[in-house]
Amino acid sequence: MDTSETESLDNLADRKLVERLGCADWDDPLFISEERLVQQFQVARAAGNTTRVGLFSSELSRRMLRRSRSFALKNSLVPQHFSHLDEAAHELSAYVWERLLKDKNAQFAARRFGVFFRNQSISFLRSILAQCRARMESLEEWHQAEREEVDGDDEDGGGNDAGTTLLDERTPDVALGQARGFEQFHARLQSLLTRNEYSVFVMLWRQQMKIKDIAAALCVTPRTINNYERSIKDKINKEFNV
């Protein structure tokens, strides 16, 4: 990024900067690229300028979500791996944000953001596929264990009713019902929680991000994230009688 362009952004009043960030036309000279946003976000974060950190990270989050939705649709993340497009986009964005906060990654993203996002998205997809393979291997092991157990029962002259009940409780139909229950739970969460609360839920419990990193991604203070966490727990406890 040109030094003069950096200085011009630094000298802009917050109101003017908001107007610049609202420019979405790539051909407009006022348009701020993702690379420049990352660099400005780093500068503001290092200087402790929370207002500027919030402005730049908010715009980065908006663009990440747009890219994430496109990636999720193109790679059929919904409904193969996620119930809803927003859930897939938020999880992918959180994954990318977590890695963007590392200095080495941020330096690369500040040069080639599109390549950085694509690489991280592919890594995210691979991690999902790896989890699916692990589940399939676990399922195969379960089937093998069941066959060995049944064979053992035949040698002893047949299984008892208690063993039959246990086998019935672990049928694929039950597993499918549990998966559907999981999807319904997340669908209910999306209607129960605010947008920010759901983002915190995904980043904190699904992605296991640190409070300070979630705060940076959402442009709020760690205290606000703690408040969101308490609110989420209260709503879940009340709704599901936990």
Going by pLDDT thresholds of 50, 70 and 90, the confidence category of residue 137 is low
Contact 83, 67 (CB under 8 A): no
Tokens (6 digits) for 12 = 């802009």
pLDDT for 4: 46
Find the length of the chain: 242
**What fold does the segment set 177-242 form as a domain?**
Arc Repressor Mutant, subunit A (1.10.10)
Where in the sequence of the chain do the CATH 1.10.10 domains occur?
177-242
Going by pLDDT thresholds of 50, 70 and 90, the confidence category of residue 114 is very high
pLDDT of 165 over the 50 cut: no
Going by pLDDT thresholds of 50, 70 and 90, the confidence category of residue 106 is very high
Mean of pLDDT over the chain: 78
DSSP 89: H
Interacting residues of 158 by C-beta distance below 8 A, sequence separation 6+: none
End-to-end CA distance of the chain: 52
Q: Which residue has the higher pLDDT, 154 or 47?
A: 47
pLDDT of 168 over the 50 cut: no
Provide the whole-model pTM: 0.59
Q: Which of 237, 175, 233 is nearest to 205 (CA)?
A: 233
pLDDT tens by residue, 54-97: 999 999 999 999 999 999 999 888 877 787 888 889 999 999 99
pLDDT tens by residue, 172-208: 445 445 545 556 666 677 778 887 888 888 888 877 8
State the Cα–Cα distance between residues 211 and 213, nearest whole angstrom: 5
Interacting residues of 18 by C-beta distance below 8 A, sequence separation 6+: 55
pLDDT of 233 over the 80 cut: yes
